[in-house]
C-alpha cells in the first residue's frame, strides 16, 4: 500500500490529508489563528497514528506552496522538507490556487480561485476552458493541464477585489476564501458566488493533485523547492 501525506498551512485555512493509492483515508481541515507552528505536528502525528503509520511509512508528500501568507507557507514546507530529506521521500509542491480551483474546473467554463492576502487584498487566478477574446495580456493566460483537466490559466496575481473584478468579462464561478466584502463586490451578472463552506480549499484535493504528479514521475527537489510569493517579504 502506497501512502501519500498532504500538508497545507499556506493560509489560516489549514489542512492535512492521508491518501492510499490515490483514495482518501483521513483528512483534517481547520481554521487556525496564526498558530500552525504549534498545531501542525501534533495533528500530523494523530493523523498517522489513526492508521498505525509513522513518517517512514509514507511513500510521498504533497505540500502547499502558496500563494498565501509568508510565514504560513513556510511552516508546512519546512515540515515536508524535513520528512523528505530524513526519509528520502519524494516531495511534490502544489499551488494553493490550483488546489482551490480543481474540484470545479469540469463543472464550470470559467473559475476564479481566491485566497486571502490580508490588508484588503486577495491572491487570485482565473481558469477557463478557453481564454477570453481578446485575452488581456496583463493577466498572462497560458495553457494548463491539471490532473484530468486541460484548459487555460492566468498567472497568479495579488490585488484588491476590484482589480480582480476588472478582469472578469463573462460568467465566472468564484471559489475559495470568500469574505462578505468580496461577495458584496460581486453581486452582478458575471459573478457566480459559491458558499465558502462548499468551496474552501481541502487538503484532500492538494493530496490528490500531488498523487497524480508523483505517479507520473514528476517530483520536486527538496533543496530547491520554494514558496510562491507574489511580493517580496
Do 175 and 126 touch, CB atoms closer than 8 A? no
Segment 149-191, tens digit of pLDDT: 999 999 999 999 888 988 888 899 999 998 877 777 776 778 8
- State yes or no: pLDDT of 18 exceeds 60: yes
Please give the pLDDT value at position 181: 76
The model carries a pTM of 0.95
The predicted pLDDT at position 232 comes to 61
Please report the domains of the chain, with CATH numbers, ordered by start residue: 3-95+202-215 (3.30.420.40), 97-199 (3.30.420)
Which residue, among 8, 26, 9, has the nearest Cα to 17 in the 3D structure? 26
Mean pLDDT of 49-68: 97
CA torsion, ordered 204, 87, 214, 225, to nearest 10 deg: 90
Asked if the model's pLDDT at residue 99 lies above 70, the reply is: yes
Cα–Cα distance, 226 to 13 (Å, whole number)? 20
Residue 213 has pLDDT above 90, yes or no: yes
CA-based nearest residue to 85, from 226, 222, 214: 222
Which is nearest to 14 in space by CA: 52, 41, 51?
Answer: 41
CA separation for the pair 233, 230 (Å, rounded): 9
CA 231 from chain center: how many Å?
A: 18
Amino acid at each position: 500500500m502506497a501512502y501519500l501525506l498532504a500538508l497545507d498551512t499556506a493560509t489560516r485555512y489549514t489542512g492535512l490529508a492521508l491518501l492510499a493509492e490515490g483514495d482518501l483515508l483521513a483528512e483534517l481541515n481547520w481554521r487556525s489563528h496564526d498558530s500552525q507552528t504549534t498545531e501542525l505536528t501534533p495533528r500530523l502525528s494523530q493523523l498517522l497514528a489513526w492508521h498505525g503509520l509513522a513518517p517512514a511509512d509514507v511513500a510521498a508528500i504533497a505540500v502547499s506552496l502558496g500563494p498565501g501568507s509568508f510565514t504560513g507557507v513556510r511552516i508546512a514546507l519546512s515540515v515536508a522538507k524535513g520528512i523528505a530529506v530524513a526519509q528520502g521521500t519524494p516531495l511534490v509542491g502544489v499551488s494553493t490556487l490550483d488546489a482551490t480551483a480543481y474540484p470545479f474546473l469540469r463543472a464550470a467554463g470559467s473559475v476564479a480561485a481566491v485566497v486571502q492576502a490580508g490588508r484588503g487584498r486577495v491572491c487570485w487566478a482565473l481558469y477557463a476552458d478557453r481564454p477570453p477574446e481578446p485575452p488581456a495580456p496583463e493577466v498572462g493566460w497560458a495553457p494548463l493541464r491539471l490532473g484530468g483537466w486541460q484548459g487555460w490559466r492566468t498567472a497568479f496575481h495579488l490585488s484588491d477585489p476590484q482589480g480582480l473584478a476588472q478582469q472578469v468579462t463573462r460568467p465566472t464561478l468564484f471559489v475559495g476564501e470568500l469574505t462578505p466584502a468580496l461577495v458584496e463586490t460581486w453581486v452582478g451578472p458575471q459573478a457566480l458566488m459559491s458558499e465558502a463552506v462548499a468551496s474552501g480549499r481541502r487538503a484532500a484535493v492538494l493530496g490528490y493533485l500531488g498523487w497524480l504528479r508523483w505517479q507520473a514521475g514528476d517530483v520536486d527537489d527538496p533543496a530547491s523547492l520554494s514558496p510562491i510569493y507574489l511580493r517580496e517579504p
